[in-house]
Amino acid sequence: MKAARSERNVPYLSLEMQRRGETPLPRQVAEWRTEFRRDLRVAWRLRLSQPSAGHAVIAAVSPLFEEWLERGHGVLSFRMTQVLTGHGKFGRFLHRIKEERTPGCRHCVDRPEDTVEHTVEVCPAWAEHRRVLVEAIGGGDLSRRALVQAMVRSEEGWQAVASFCEAVMLAKEAADRVRQRNSHRRRRDPDPDYRPP
């Protein structure tokens, strides 16, 4: 039954017993939960040790796996997930999925490759947001691992990272919308010097 329990959740097991006319004891339900969580963590650790993608996220979360699971605060938002995974309005990602011609940062004059690291650690466009983040988490290391450590360490750290991610990613999205609108407008506006043959 252990193998079956690890593949099913606790409510399912309780319903299964009730269908048979049995009532699970609270102690039994607690044991199922403990066993299910343990089996789930083992499965997660195994999957994390054999990643097919998301190496940067795994490198950031793996050392703090238990703390991440046991933290009593914070819910990942869409934009936090974008920053942790690199799947968002980052030139490298957009270039890889063929939404951009180059991976360069549209907020920098010299157009270095726009990655999570560039955006979070050095892009001058986000200097004020970065200053607030560094002040809140108490350090200058802004690697993904350091961000995850700050998030796990305290609710304040989580909020600081969340605020940074929301503000920066919203601004990047807004800039992208303006760029797309202007690009679309240029395509629609006829060339005033064009003369048909």
CA-atom Rg of the chain in angstroms: 24
| SS3 call for 113 | strand
The tens place of each residue's pLDDT in the chain, 197 residues long, gives 344 444 467 777 777 888 888 887 888 888 888 888 888 888 877 777 776 667 888 888 888 989 998 999 999 999 999 999 999 999 999 999 999 999 999 999 999 999 999 999 999 999 999 999 999 999 889 999 999 999 999 999 999 999 999 999 999 999 999 988 888 766 555 555 555 55
Would you say 56 and 86 are in contact if contact means Cβ atoms under 8 Å apart?
yes
- What residue spans of 90-153 are helical by DSSP H? 91-96, 116-117, 127-137, 144-153
pTM of the model: 0.73
- Rounded Cα distance, 48 and 23, in Å: 37
Domains of the chain by residue range: 2-50, 59-188
